[in-house]
Amino acid sequence: SQQGEEDPQALSIQEGENATMNCSYKTSINNLQWYRQNSGRGLVHLILIRSNEREKHSGRLRVTLDTSKKSSSLLITASRAADTASYFCATDAIGNQFYFGTGTSLTVIP
Amino acid sequence: KAGVTQTPRYLIKTRGQQVTLSCSPISGHRSVSWYQQTPGQGLQFLFEYFSETQRNKGNFPGRFSGRQFSNSRSEMNVSTLELGDSALYLCASSLDQGLTDTQYFGPGTRLTVL
């Protein structure tokens, strides 16, 4: 079974609104990464947060990590139509296994 | 710097055949990982190579194999193809730390098995 489960599976918002997606995982990790995938640009790395970090920012992105709950969230502020894509969390699990979550499909309506 | 390149981009094979996919990492990157993406199973890790050695391996049958050359280029081979092997195969490269580091993905090879 997959290490990561994402919630919601699909999200539709208006341009300018914030989008939040969540990722839960099952085993201890070294780090957690978020990726975006759309048909035009393939799979693109967004941000990496290590297991000893709790929050990280990159531009309009904010990622939190709660290792006690084995969960992470990705917040995209002031969304744009170009943010329309699928978002995946990926965990580097202890034992050198790399797992992707099931993904959240985000649609930003202009 | 040029990004990760994968060849071919599209491939059609029939059951029982074998296939070899190629990946050229970003210059200076020594780790190459391979992933399979299907609608049903999502993105799954196949294996990672570093310095011509398989460093990590996912849960795929032995029909899936790979190798890495001294210039860090990597190939992935699937033997005795099955219909379920139809997928997008992605390769990713990173500097040294492989799975614990930022990975840069190629555009993928779309394999269709008939």
How do residues A70-79 score in pLDDT, each as one tens digit? 999 999 999 9
Cβ(B92)–Cβ(B23) under 8 Å?
no
**Is B100 in contact with A92 (Cβ distance < 8 A)?**
yes
Asked if residue A39 has pLDDT above 80, the reply is no
Q: Encoding tokens for residue B47? A: 């294996």
**Do A30 and B102 count as a contact with CB atoms less than 8 A apart?**
no
* Contact residues, chain B, for A40 at CB < 8 Å: none
Please determine, for residue A107, whether its predicted confidence score (pLDDT) is greater than 90.
yes
Q: List, for residues A9-35, the tens digit of each pLDDT value.
A: 999 999 999 999 999 998 888 899 999
* Cβ(B46)–Cβ(B66) below 8 Å: yes
